[in-house]
Structures are given as C-alpha cells and as structure tokens.
C-alpha cells in the first residue's frame, strides 16, 4: 500500500496527537555489559559496554527508537537537555512517553557511552568492523537485562532503520511492529560511493595528523547528500565574495559550521567505524515477518525511492509504504514532524491495512 502524504496534507491537516492522562514518566540510564560479542564480519569484542536510556511510565509498552550514526540515547528532552528527536518523541508527541517507554542506546563503535574505538588508534586495528546486525544483537542483550521478552514497536530512521530491519530479521519473536524511515535492506551503490570518498578523506587526515579537519570536510561533503538539490539551490544560490585572495560561496559557512559541530560530537575513528557499518548492511527481506511501515522520501538521494519500493514489494502484504515529499531529502525524518506524526500514531496504535 502506497500513501501519497503530500496530497493528503493538501486536503486536510494531520490529526492532532490525543493527549494521554498524566502518568509518572521516569528516566533510567543503564549500562549493559556483554562478556563477548561475536561480530557478523568475523571479529570479536570482549567486555562490551552498551549505554542505554529508558524513558516512560513503569510497565508501559516498550518502543525502541534509533536514529542516524550521530544520534545517541538522548532521544526525548529530559531535565532541560534537548533530545535529538524531541519533536516526535516525548509527552504528547507521536511517540508519547506518557503511553510508551522509549528505549534507545549509544552505538557500539560510536563516541558515546558504549564501547568504541580509542581516539588515536587509527591503523592499529584496535576495533573490528561492526554491522547493523551487531547493533541488533547488542539491543537483544539490553532487552535481556531488562527482562523484556517482546517490544511494542521499533522505530528506526536512517542507520537506525537499518538496525531495525536487522533486528526484525534476526529476532522476529521479540517485535510486534516495525517502522522504518529512509532505510533499506542494503546500501545503494551510489550512496556507498559517496561514503567511501568521505572515509578516504578522514583516513588521509588521520595519517597526516589532521584527523579533525578531515572529519569536518567529510561531514560537509555528507551534508550535500542529506538534503535535496532543490533545497540547496533555494538556500544558497547567490554571488561569491572575495576573501583574502579566494572566493567564498554562500554555502561555505553552512558546510563549515556543520563540520565543526560534528567534530565536537564524534571522533574520526568512530565515524569510520559507523560509516563503514552502513555499507555492511545486508538483510534478507524474506526473513522479516513483522507488520512493517516503511516511510520513503521521494527527494532522498541516499535511499532512493525505487529502493524503498522494492523493499516494500519484497515484504508483500506485511508492509505499508508511505511516500513523502520533502525538500529536506534524507533529513526529512528530522524535519517533517507534521507528516510523520500521523504515520507513527497509526503504525504504533492501530492495525496495518
């Protein structure tokens, strides 16, 4: 089933999220310790730490929420700290923490509270390749620690969507509903090519002692793939200005700012690990039996619409495909609150048609 969301919104605004009776929402931070993690690509990690957060009322159904490689366990705003997906996760939001307990975790291989590469360890092979399947296994360990046999839903966007698909294929008995935004069962070859160039930039920087600068440049390049050509042209078309013998263009400040912000949140070695992990995705859709909602963005350059349609076709009648129009392209999951709210509400609360 394909839904043209932009056409629907032209007829009527999305229904408001129904407020739930006030309940005590608690935030619990925890650490899962995995004695040994045998990785899908042949490596092995010992004494793995996985930092997780659970937000919501006691005994409420659990919904796992995961995002891109720069996301972390701070999904909903808490104690004055803004969550990275607070427009969609929180009290009276689409994923309502009055109604659900939201579980998220820091990526294995990242720069958060979970185990990851040691800064400065590039070239020493100190951290093996981690796939989305391995992140799914880490989540299974967390659920075991919490004594949770089955979760209400898994909402994954971008890299988190890849992990969600891997989890659904490996642990179908643990999952009731699957909601995947802008992620497919395998990486698109052109997207892999873009990320490969970004990783080469970072590796070159690390070997020359300029890892942070290289990471900033790579992130700037990545930003050109996250948004649509139409958005870039609308925001940054304009004349160049001379600056100390060089010309600067309207887009330069934006790309440099996004690169500098990224360097403050992730170390180059972790970026290499997680970027590579995206391109190690390999899920057989025939193994997924969970009722699934896929959300595709027609302007997404990284996960083309044709790829999402093919995944929906392979999931057959178990799947509903929602197609959105958005100038934000792959980043639509961070920007299109009004379009995603009714989709999440229906997928989590109602039966799929």
CA–CA distance, 13 with 4 (Å, rounded to integer): 14
Q: In the annotation, is 300 catalytic? A: yes
Q: In the annotation, is 77 catalytic? A: no
Q: In the annotation, is 46 catalytic? A: no
**What are the two backbone dihedrals, phi and then psi, of residue 32, each rounded to the nearest 5 degrees?**
-95, 135
Q: Exactly one of 5, 115, 216, 330 is catalytic; which is it?
A: 330
The pTM for the full model equals: 0.91
The correct answer on CATH 3.40.50.1820 for the domain covering 2-188+282-349 is yes
Q: Which residue has the tokens 């104690």?
A: 79
The CATH number corresponding to 190-277 among 3.30.980.10, 1.10.1740.110, 2.60.120.10, 1.10.3720.10 equals 1.10.1740.110
> Quick one: pLDDT band at residue 135, thresholds 50, 70, 90?
very high
**What are the two backbone dihedrals, phi and then psi, of residue 182, each rounded to the nearest 5 degrees?**
55, 55
Q: Exactly one of 96, 106, 133, 300 is catalytic; which is it?
A: 300
* DSSP bridge partners of 327: none
* DSSP bridge partners of 44: 38
- Residue-wise pLDDT for 184-194, tens only, equals 999 999 999 99
- The domain segmentation of the chain, as residue ranges, is 2-188+282-349, 190-277
> Quick one: pLDDT band at residue 245, thresholds 50, 70, 90?
confident
- Residue-wise pLDDT for 281-290, tens only, equals 999 999 999 9
Q: Exactly one of 111, 115, 131, 158 is catalytic; which is it?
A: 158
Task: Please give the pLDDT value at position 244.
Answer: 85
Task: Please give the pLDDT value at position 25.
Answer: 86
C-alpha to C-alpha distances, 293 to 2, 25, 155, 296, 338, nearest whole angstrom:
10, 27, 9, 10, 17
Task: Please give the pLDDT value at position 66.
Answer: 98
- Residue-wise pLDDT for 194-230, tens only, equals 999 999 999 999 999 999 999 999 999 999 999 999 9
How far from the centroid of its chain's Cα atoms is residue 312's Cα?
19
As a whole-number percent, the residues of the chain with pLDDT over 90 amount to: 85
- Residue-wise pLDDT for 47-76, tens only, equals 999 999 999 999 999 999 999 999 999 999
């Amino acid at each position: 089933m394909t839904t043209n969301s932009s056409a629907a919104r032209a007829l009527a605004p999305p229904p408001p999220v129904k407020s739930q009776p006030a309940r005590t929402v608690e935030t619990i931070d925890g650490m899962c310790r995995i004695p040994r993690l045998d990785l899908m690509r042949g490596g092995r990690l010992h004494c793995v730490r996985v930092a997780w957060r659970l937000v919501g009322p006691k005994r409420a159904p659990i919904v796992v929420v995961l995002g891109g490689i720069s996301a972390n366990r701070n999904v909903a705003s808490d104690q004055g700290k803004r969550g990275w997906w607070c427009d969609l996760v929180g009290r009276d939001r689409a994923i309502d923490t009055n109604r659900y307990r939201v579980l998220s975790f820091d990526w294995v291989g990242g720069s958060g509270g979970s185990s990851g590469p040691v800064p400065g360890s590039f070239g020493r092979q100190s951290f093996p390749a981690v796939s989305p399947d391995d992140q799914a296994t880490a989540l299974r360990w967390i659920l075991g620690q919490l004594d949770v046999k089955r979760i209400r839903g898994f909402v994954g966007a971008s890299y988190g969507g890849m992990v969600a698909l891997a989890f659904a294929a490996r642990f179908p008995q643990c999952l009731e509903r699957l909601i995947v935004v802008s992620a497919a069962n395998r990486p698109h070859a052109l997207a892999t090519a873009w990320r490969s160039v970004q990783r080469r930039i970072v590796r070159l920087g690390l070997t020359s002692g300029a890892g942070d600068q290289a990471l900033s440049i790579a992130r700037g390049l990545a930003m050109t793939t996250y948004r649509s050509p139409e958005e870039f042209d609308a925001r940054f078309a304009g004349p160049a200005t001379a600056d100390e013998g060089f010309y600067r263009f309207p887009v330069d400040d934006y790309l440099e700012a996004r690169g500098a912000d990224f360097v403050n949140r992730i170390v180059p070695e972790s970026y290499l690990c997680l970027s590579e992990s995206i391109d190690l995705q390999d899920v057989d859709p025939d193994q997924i039996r969970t009722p699934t909602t896929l959300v595709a963005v027609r302007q997404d350059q990284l996960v083309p619409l044709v790829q999402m349609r093919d995944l929906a076709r392979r999931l057959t009648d178990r799947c509903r495909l929602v197609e959105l129009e958005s100038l934000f392209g792959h980043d639509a999951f961070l920007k299109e609150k009004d379009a995603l709210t009714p989709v999440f509400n229906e997928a989590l609360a109602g039966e799929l048609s």
